[in-house]
Structure 1
Amino acid sequence: MPNIDTLRDKALALLTRREHSRQELRQKLSRPADTDVAELDNLLDELEEAGWLSDVRFASAYIAAYINRFGQYRLENELRERGISDDVIRSALVEIPAEESELTRAKTVWQKKFQTLPHNANEHARQVRFLQSRGFSYDTIRRVLSVQDDE
């Protein structure tokens, strides 16, 4: 069973590399099956109080890193999978600059992948599926493809 100092050292080493959510850090530190859950929770509380661990900071950093590649739905889903609460996710998404609209980002992602408009229904469906897999809403996708049709 790893002692608390070993766990703290491992946690600090992980947190100096990048931000982690509380759930991610708990999973990484509890890999040895005999880790005491109560000790681990106390350590995580201590790290939060000291400012080393913050789900709010993690959510903001995650969104900043992936905002140009993914839509809002995918970002929300991936943050939920990492144990971030809906309130924290909503507040982090509000921080997105206004010029970084969902439509603008979807159009940029579309242009990187597809340089030409869909020639037939199969190609159109392929482009829609791609943008949906990136987490963009169907309304946004429809607008991206209709804007492209207008140009």
Structure 2
Amino acid sequence: MAKLQISLKGRALRYLSAREHSRMELARKLARYAQEGDDIEALLDTLEAAKLLSQSRFSESLIHRRAHRYGNSRILSELQSHGIDAESLVNIKADLADGEIARAREVWRKKFNQPAADASERAKQMRFLLQRGFSHRAIQAAVKGGSDDDDC
């Protein structure tokens, strides 16, 4: 039995029902299935007008999925790679800055949970947090330890 061909709009709705997508990501996924005469940009405009596709919802969703594991620079880099505009990135950066130290401490606690015994262990812990995209200020606060009350 032949497989049923799903329309481009049906495929877009299937993707969006699974999770939020950025406009760029959805266009890339749909481009594989586009046929002669299909206008992906018009379809995306229609989805945005119907509020089925939203860059702000996508940004919130990505931040929610990544914030408990990654630092601000890694999250912002990922948002930028998805085509989020610079003005939105500035607002998101300001919102994320508030809790970065607490998030860095939590990631550090889950991985290490004890202060470094020597300089090489401390460097290892700092590299781990740096690779996760945390700022130097947040890394210093997390590795130093202390309570969550001394957030700068």
- Indicate whether the TM-score tops 0.5: yes
The offset of 1:77, in angstroms, is: 0.4
Q: Which residue matches 2:26?
A: 25
CA drift at 1:124:
1.2
Give the match for residue 149 of structure 2: none
75 and 36 in structure 1: CA distance in 2 versus 1, 3 angstrom threshold: farther
Alpha-carbon deviation of 1:115? 1.8
Rate the CA distance shift 1:36–1:71 in 2: closer, same or farther, 3 A. farther
Describe the superposition over 1:2-28 as per-residue Cα deviations: whole angstroms up to 9, x where unpaired. xxx711000001101110000110110
Aligned length: 141
TM-score (norm 2): 0.83
Gaps of 5+ in 1: none
TM-score, normalised to structure 1's length?
0.83
In the alignment, structure 2 segments of 5+ residues that lack a partner are 1-5, 147-152
Contact 1:132 1:138 in 2 (8 A): yes
Query: Identical aligned pairs, as a percentage?
Result: 37
Amino acid at match of 1:143: A
In 2, the alpha carbon distance for the partners of 1:89 and 1:127 equals 28
> What residue in structure 2 maps to residue 48 of structure 1?
48
Task: Assess if the C-alpha contact under 8 Å between 1:73 and 1:137 holds in 2.
Answer: yes
Q: Kindly provide the CA deviation profile for residues 28-67 of structure 1, in whole angstroms up to 9, marking residues without a partner as x.
A: 00124x6459701111111111101011110011112221
Which residue of the partner structure matches residue 111 of structure 2? 113
Deviations along 1:92-139, one digit per CA (max 9) or x if unpaired, are: 4445595xx211111000000002211222211111111011110112
Q: State the alpha-carbon separation in 2 of the partners of residues 119 and 86 from structure 1.
A: 42
Secondary structure of 1:116's match?
A: coil
